[in-house]
Chains A and B, each alone.
Chain A
Amino acid sequence: MSEDFSRALRERVDALQPRIDVDTSHVISGARRRRTLRRSAVTTVVLTAVVVLVVALSAQPWTSWTSTPPAATPTVPTELVAPEGTYWHTVWEIETDGVVTGRTELWTARTGDGLIVPDGDLTRAEPQATFGLSVRIDGTATTLTWDRLDEIPADPAALDAFARAAFLDDAGDPDTAVLALLVNIVRSPVSQDVRTAAWTVASGLPGSIVTTGATGSRGQAGTLLERDGSTYLFDPTSGLLLEYTALDARIIYLEQDVTHTLPTG
């Protein structure tokens, strides 16, 4: 099954990759310049080091180095720190064979860049794109921004119609595409009513098997929806997705909320 998904993904990339005309006219000259600069820099460093050493030897007696430099405090790279804004904050862990193999914390911004932090390591933080859902509205492909999420209906029948008109991909099973879109809606900063409606629609799709009173891998109480080899455990009250399994991995959603600041280290 993973090979099928992998192959389908490659086909999608083949169909969607943009044409990128790379200007290679300055590659060779640029490389030569870089090599010249590197050699000059090495020479400069060596000469400077010699000068510093000579000055040090002549000006000060030998002292033993007994102190150690302070441990570096990891902080978010300054260029990634954004002013206060509005973010959809999500934390999830991925398990493979019952072992946690990764933890990701994501801040998706209402406007501007957000942040993604892998495994709690702020030194590896990366910018993250502005929030957006790729959908089709009135027959036109578009990106539904945070401020347009109120266009998503909270009535199950209307949401079903919305989702069937809005999904972009057609793999021969529209219900699968609808489910994918509904899950992405649920994982967005939408209202509880919209989430509840989404699960109502999802539960009614052909092939969906719903089990109430289910328990997740970490004891989370919820409702389980199974379809086509994937499982979705959700909170029937808030509508938040708690756990998702597919292939040989499990994704556990630990936090999902709106926040107004990014971490600063």
Chain B
Amino acid sequence: MSTVTTRGEPEDVPVLSAPADRDEEFAAFMATATPALARTAWLLCGDEHRAEELVQRALMNTYLAWPRARQRDPLAYARRTLANLRIDTWRRHRREVLTSPTDLPEGSREAPAAQHADRDQLVRALATLTARQRRIVVLRHLEGMSEREVADDLGVSLGTVKSTASRGLAQLRSVLGDTTTGRRTS
């Protein structure tokens, strides 16, 4: 990719000189950003297939806005786009499909059913939140963003983030209990 700067452009943002450069740069971005976006999408919608659709849509929107998105933090742009997609249709497409051992990542083959049940419990807990609560709790507490970042991404006030995150966390705690870590060892 050529790096040509012109007067007025930030020096650390290379100017793309051709559409092929844009596509190449965006493809590289997708390769690194997709896993993180997939995690966020799954937390927002609770369904792996739906999560894939959401990530694809977020990436498409980011591509369309790539000259702007690439100026600062394209991952943050894509995540903001993802978080503002409609996630309230999540359960409709969910299927109760147990993964076969060959579908699981290496190292997890020994307890697929237990992991599925644990995951199901977590997803059900997240389901007791409204879409807005889920967005804020996921971004603030599960993705570790600051309250200001969440407020900016979702276009809400800082106070709304604070209060909604607190309520959402309390709701999750009421469902999951005070214990949330670890696995049964016996």
Contact = CB atoms under 8 A, between A and B. Distances in A.
A176 B176 CA distance: 10
Is chain A's interface secondary structure helix, strand, loop, or mixed overall? mixed
Given A30-B60, A173-B179, A251 B170 contact: yes
The interface centre, meaning the residue of B23, B38, B172, B184 with most chain A CB atoms within 10 A of its CB, is B184
Chain A contact patch, size range: 35 or more
B68 interface: no
Nearest to A248: B166
Contacts of B30: 24, 27
Nearest to B46: A129
B117 A136 contact: yes
Interface in B1-59: 23, 26-27, 30, 34, 37-39, 41-43, 48, 51-52, 55-56, 59
Given A132-B120, A176-B177, A177-B177, A113 B55 contact: no
Given A10-B141, A126-B131, A168 B167 contact: no
Nearest to B176: A180
B163 interface: yes
A80 B48 CA distance: 21
Interface string A235-265: 0000000001011110100000000000000
Nearest to B52: A22
A75 interface: no
Contacts of A172: 182
B42 A168 contact: no
Q: 3 tightest A-B contacts by CB? A: A180-B177, A141-B117, A249-B170
29 contacts: A9-B141, A9-B142, A13-B39, A15-B183, A20-B39, A22-B52, A30-B56, A31-B61, A94-B167, A96-B163, A96-B166, A116-B128, A126-B91, A127-B88, A129-B127, A134-B117, A140-B113, A168-B184, A169-B118, A169-B179, A169-B181, A169-B183, A172-B182, A177-B179, A179-B178, A180-B176, A183-B174, A246-B173, A248-B170
